[in-house]
Each structure stands twice: as structure tokens, then as C-alpha cells.
Amino acid sequence: MKLFNVKKVDEVRKILDDVFSDACSKYELIPIEKSLGRVVYEDLYSPIDLPEFSRAVVDGYAVLSDDTHGAGESMPVFLNVIGRVDMGKAATESVKSSTAIYVPTGAMIPPGADAVVMIEYVENLDENTIAVYTPVAPGHGIIKKGDDIKKGHKLLSKGKRIRARDIGVLSALGIEFIKVYEKIKVSVISTGDEIVYPFGEVSFGQIRDINTNLLSAMAEESGADVSLKLLVKDDFDRLKEAINKALQVSDIIVLSGGSSVGAKDMTAKAIESLEDGKIFVHGVAVKPGKPTIIGKVENKAIFGLPGHPSSAMIIYKLFVDYLIRKYYSMNEDIIYVEALCSENIHSEPGKETYQPVELIEKDGTYEAVPIYGKSAAISKIAKSIGYIKIAENKEGIKKGEKVRVALF
């Protein structure tokens, strides 16, 4: 095994950027009604002006604004009502000087008219005549064609995750289908002689497999599809076989190691033994998660995560989730929650520390409570809603200090 320098998070991410710069950019065209949560494949522009025609935004009379010039409470202007526009119908008749056409809110503005006088300022004198008691400026009471969204306006950027409101916007513009990224396919492989299928009876000494289901669910949360889940013993040939199987069906392979001595080396050796297999990262300067491996086979990324679930979760978030987001061209739009730290937190200088925390709400502010416990502890995972990062040059965090919590 070659010796690698232990790397910092930013260095590792830079390597991921470089090594996997042009992988995974397949798209599919799907109905917008099925697109919630999917990621936009290319910038999307409005194909039309919105509104598609000038509309009334009040109930009133479409007029020529010039005709209302000088109108006032004591000196109305009289106009001849020549018709009405019904909701949802095209306005065919034109408004000419001294005439008006009734328009309800949302109706199309008839040709010729450049303003709408609200009914509140109008008196109906007879069936065909109104008195207008206020002057209106051009454009009053109207939303003009294209005022809301112009044809060609950028609606969605490549890499954006589609939310409900986006689907609303696309509907408004008549966009029925959208190009989204094909889902990244992830295989999850757990290794360890002591690790067994989690359900049913297990023998003394055996440990139920956590990481396969944990990391698979995390991959789903990242917007990936899990194509294969495997559990293998710490055996070189079986591990190599498992990786080969996973390579057939996935873009990313996430291994997590047992804690037995030498298991980590086995992962690295298995990757290097494959044709075109390379290791880029062997060890990261992160607490927890030092024994992290990142490699590549056939342009597919292979991650070797620590075996302890709580460390695996953090390394997953720092690198695997990062790569999936990169494949999807997603910007770093993680929403942080601001909180006050509930107690002093120590950190190891020279290492970035990622401390899992609980969030407790108190009178409208959040308190971040660090979760301690051995890194294998499941109770720790159960409570951790997110983590805070302590920079390598910072000596811990003081009680009451403001921190930013990244959610798991």
C-alpha cells in the first residue's frame, strides 16, 4: 500500500471536483407533476410572456385614461358602456374614446383601453352610461402582458431541486415536461466479520448491520437511488467480488468498514487490484473519520467510510453527499440553523472537528447540545439532528457561543 498524506476536507473536495469532473450527466424528461424533489438538468427559460395578455387586476371599466382626465368627485366624466368581457373569454370589441367596457378581475383588457377604473369610483346612470368620479393614469388597474414574467426569463437554474412552488410556476407557463438529472445510482456495501444481517436472531458476539440501511437511507435523502445493498465478510476475494458486482449497477459505491484490524487496508487493496482502480485519498484530517478512503474504478467513485455509524454519517455528509450534489450541479444551498452552544466543546488542534448536536428550542432560539458517547454508540445517532464544524485552528467552542448547525 502506498503512503498517502492525510488530507483536509477542502483538499478532498478539490480532488473530488478534479477527478470526477465530467461524470454522470444523464437526464430524463418527466412530467412536472412527477418532478417534486428532482434536480433540474439545464437552465429553463419561460417560453411565454406571463400574463399572456393584459388583464384587469380589479373589477371595473376598461377605458382610455385620457378620457378620465379632469374627472373628480364633483365633476364626473360620462362614458358610454359598449359591452363587457367575461372571465376566460377573449376581448373582441375595442374601447374607443368616450366608451368603456366592463371587466371583472382577471379578465382580458379589451384592445384600445389603457386603464381600468374601479367600480367603487363609478356610478351606473343607466344601462349604457356610467359616471366616472376619478382620473386614472395609463396602466392603472392592469397587469400588462409579460409584466409578471417575460418570455425568455430564467425560471430555474441547472442544479436546482424542484419544490412545490416551482411546479406551480411551471404550470402557470404551460410547461408540461422538464429535463431532470437521472438519479445517481449508489451501491452500499458493509464489511466486517462480526457484522450480520440485522433482522431475526443473532448469535452472541455478532453485531447487527447498521450501516447498510443507514447509508442507503442517507443516499435516498441525497436524492440518489440505491441499486444494491451488500454485506460481506472481511475477505479480500469476497470484497473484490462485491465491488465488481456494484460497479455493474452504480455510479457511486459506498463501503463502510468493520472495525477489525486490517479491514481498511483490504478495502484499499481491493480497489487497487481492479483494472483501472486508483486511490486518491487515504486518510482525512477530520475528527471523527480519519480512516477514510476515496478511490475510483472506471470513472465510478468508491468511498471507504469508517465502520462506526456516527463517523460514517459525518463522512458520508462531507464527501459522498458532496459528490452527489456535484453530479447534480447543485449549489451549496444547505440551510444552517443558528444556535447557541449549551456548553464548552473541546477540539483537537490541527484537525477539523465535526461535533454531532441535538437542537433544543428555548423561547424562540435554539440551543445546540453536543452529543457525546463512544462513536459506535447508537443512542448518539438517535439524538443527533446535525453537526457543527470546529475549524482546525480554533480551540473548541465556548458555552453560549453562536454556532451554525448543518442538519443531517
Single residue of 83, 106, 112, 139 touching its own copies by CB under 8 A? 106
Q: Identity (one letter) of the amino acid at 316?
A: Y
Rounded Cα distance between 234 and 254, Å, is 15
Adjacent-strand bridge partners of 377? none
Closest distance of CB 307 from its own copies, Å: 9
Return all residues near 255 (Cβ < 8 A) that are at least 6 apart: 189, 190, 191, 243, 267, 293, 302, 303, 304, 305
Q: Which residues of 347-367 are buried (b: 16+ CB within 10 A; e: fewer)?
A: beeebbbbbbbbeeeeeeebb
Site for its own copies in 313-332 (CB under 8 A): 313
Instruction: Pick between residue 222 and residue 279 the one whose CB is nearest to its own copies.
Output: 222
Instruction: Give the cell for residue 90.
Output: 377573449
Single residue of 101, 117, 173, 242 touching its own copies by CB under 8 A? 173
Instruction: Give the cell for residue 46.
Output: 419561460
Instruction: Give the cell for residue 11.
Output: 483538499
Binding mask 340-359 for its own copies (x = CB under 8 A): -------------------x
Site for its own copies in 133-172 (CB under 8 A): 143, 148-149, 155, 163-172
Single residue of 90, 125, 249, 360 touching its own copies by CB under 8 A? 90
Instruction: Pick between residue 32 and residue 77 the one whose CB is nearest to its own copies.
Output: 32
Beta strand pairing call for 99-103 and 77-84: parallel
Instruction: Pick between residue 69 and residue 137 the one whose CB is nearest to its own copies.
Output: 137
Confirm or reject binding of residue 368 to its own copies (CB under 8 A): no
Helix or strand (DSSP H, E) at 256: strand 252-256
Site for its own copies in 13-32 (CB under 8 A): 32
Single residue of 42, 53, 158, 238 touching its own copies by CB under 8 A? 53
Instruction: Pick between residue 77 and residue 210 the one whose CB is nearest to its own copies.
Output: 210
How many chain residues touch its own copies (CB under 8 A)? 89
Confirm or reject binding of residue 218 to its own copies (CB under 8 A): yes
Beta strand pairing call for 365-370 and 293-297: unpaired
